[in-house]
């Protein structure tokens, strides 16, 4: 069994009715389980033999009716050992967990398979989100599979083309607003209170976080129960870092791992309210009114899950760091050209952050590190083209092409 619990006043709520925040104090909610019951369910060990996927962990998820599960085959993403890049950056072992492997090309699918299943359990006919792009792409796909209507509210500018086309193709109602993600989120939060026909699936919804926490379980299982020293993760609205830490803590509590990794949150310099709070040792986060970065996925100034993110960082004795747009684009090129992994700019920020923290001595050269690549590179085809040299056109003749190749070194 499970219930919802407020992270501020610890008030408990059953799962019968839809709530997104604490009805007493308005703080964020967490899903809590009866861990003794869970332990006894896990004793059979049958589940451990199943291949990695979100639903391998069905006993850890808050679903009442498994016949309602809406799945496109999410999770089970590959954990790549990146030895060439690891050597170059100066760490003993570098792994990249490639969340771009998910059905719509980002980690959001882990949350949406659970979240849209809850929408069906609650009998809702329509789902809603605000998004910098990936959430809307993912929600649109899962809503389509479930036969639900889907409304996505997105910034009218600076949303990556690949993400936009996904939402449209999956049949969502797209509402571009003249503003950024923070404006869009404020609107859907208000709307979801007023309109009981819409089920909100931004990461404030605690059930979505439950799906996303399977990322941590998969990392632990992929490394045979030995979590790395550090996990690097990009931070935008701060749901995923919260989910990751919850997953590791639950695995530890259930004795499925015997150590916890440090959680390192990476933000872009122009959109770094969490990293700024961590660096100044502040217990609260000061919102940033005009966030700006080439990594549009994390162009967020007022992260809704900031409290859970700070908790993840402090409890794990981790940290947060900022990286410039130039560093992000360089990291994207390095990962693609040295390891064959093409990830979107927000995802590459983790590699840029790792490079910086190795140089600063925060990451030791004998450490094992996992970087979370949250989304596929093709989501945003325009940005890398903008940052690279344009290839010169030549005549359609062998000689001209051979001349253009030149002498290979």
State the residues that interact with ligand F0G by CB under 6 A: 106, 131-135, 203, 234-241, 297-298, 344, 346-347, 374-375
Strands across the sheet containing 126-130: 173-177, 149-155, 126-130, 198-200
Among residues 83 and 173, whose Cβ is nearest to ligand F0G? 173
Smallest distance from ligand F0G to CB 57, Å: 19
Q: Which residues contact 2 (CB under 8 A, 6 or more apart)?
A: 15, 31, 32, 33, 34, 62
Among residues 117 and 135, whose Cβ is nearest to ligand F0G? 135
Phi first, then psi, for residue 382 (nearest 5°) are: -75, -40
Smallest distance from ligand F0G to CB 163, Å: 7
Smallest distance from ligand F0G to CB 123, Å: 26
Among residues 322 and 374, whose Cβ is nearest to ligand F0G? 374
Q: Which residues contact 16 (CB under 8 A, 6 or more apart)?
A: none
Q: Which helix (H) or strand (E) holds 339?
A: helix 325-339
Question: What stretches of 203-324 show up as alpha helix (H) in DSSP?
Answer: 206-212, 214-222, 239-253, 273-280, 306-315
Smallest distance from ligand F0G to CB 137, Å: 8
Smallest distance from ligand F0G to CB 302, Å: 12
What letters, b where the CB count within 10 A reaches 16 and e where it falls short, cover 100-119?
bbbbbbbbbbbbbbbbbbbb
Among residues 53 and 134, whose Cβ is nearest to ligand F0G? 134
Among residues 261 and 366, whose Cβ is nearest to ligand F0G? 261
Smallest distance from ligand F0G to CB 236, Å: 3
Among residues 33 and 306, whose Cβ is nearest to ligand F0G? 306
């Amino acid at each position: 069994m499970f219930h919802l619990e407020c992270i501020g006043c610890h008030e408990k709520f059953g799962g019968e009715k839809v709530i997104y925040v604490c009805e007493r104090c308005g703080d964020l909610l967490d899903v809590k389980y009866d861990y003794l019951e869970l332990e006894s369910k896990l004793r059979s060990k049958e589940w451990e033999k199943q291949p990695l996927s979100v639903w391998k962990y069905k006993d850890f998820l808050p679903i009442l009716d498994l016949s309602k599960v809406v799945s496109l085959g999410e999770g089970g993403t590959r954990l790549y050992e990146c030895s060439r890049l690891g050597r170059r950056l100066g760490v003993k072992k570098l792994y990249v967990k490639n969340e771009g492997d998910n059905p719509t090309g980002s980690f959001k699918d882990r949350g949406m398979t659970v979240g849209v299943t809850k929408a069906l359990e609650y009998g809702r006919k329509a789902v809603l989100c605000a998004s910098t792009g990936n959430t809307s792409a993912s929600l649109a796909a899962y809503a389509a599979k479930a036969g639900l209507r889907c409304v996505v509210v997105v910034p009218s500018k600076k949303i990556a083309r690949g993400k936009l086309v996904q939402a449209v193709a999956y049949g969502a109602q797209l509402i571009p607003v003249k503003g950024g993600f923070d404006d869009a989120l404020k609107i859907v939060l208000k709307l979801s209170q007023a309109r009981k026909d819409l089920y909100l699936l931004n990461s404030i919804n605690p059930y979505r976080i439950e799906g996303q926490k399977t990322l941590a379980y998969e990392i632990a299982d992929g490394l045979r129960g030995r979590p790395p020293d550090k996990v690097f993760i990009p931070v935008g609205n701060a749901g995923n870092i919260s989910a990751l830490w919850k997953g590791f803590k639950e695995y530890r509590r259930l004795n499925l791992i015997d150590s916890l990794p440090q959680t390192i949150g990476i933000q872009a310099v122009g959109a770094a309210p969490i990293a700024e709070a961590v660096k100044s040792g502040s217990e609260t986060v000061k919102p940033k009114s005009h966030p700006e970065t080439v990594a549009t996925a994390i162009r967020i100034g007022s992260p809704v899950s900031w409290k859970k993110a700070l908790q993840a960082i402090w409890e794990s004795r981790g940290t947060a760091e900022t990286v410039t747009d130039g560093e992000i684009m360089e990291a994207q090129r390095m990962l693609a050209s040295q390891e064959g992994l093409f990830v979107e700019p927000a995802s590459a920020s983790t590699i840029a952050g790792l490079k910086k923290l190795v140089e600063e001595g925060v990451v030791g050269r004998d450490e094992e590190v996992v970087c979370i690549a949250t989304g596929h590179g093709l989501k945003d085809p325009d940005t890398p083209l903008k940052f690279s040299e344009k290839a010169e056109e030549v005549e359609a003749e062998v000689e001209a092409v051979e001349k253009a190749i030149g002498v290979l070194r």
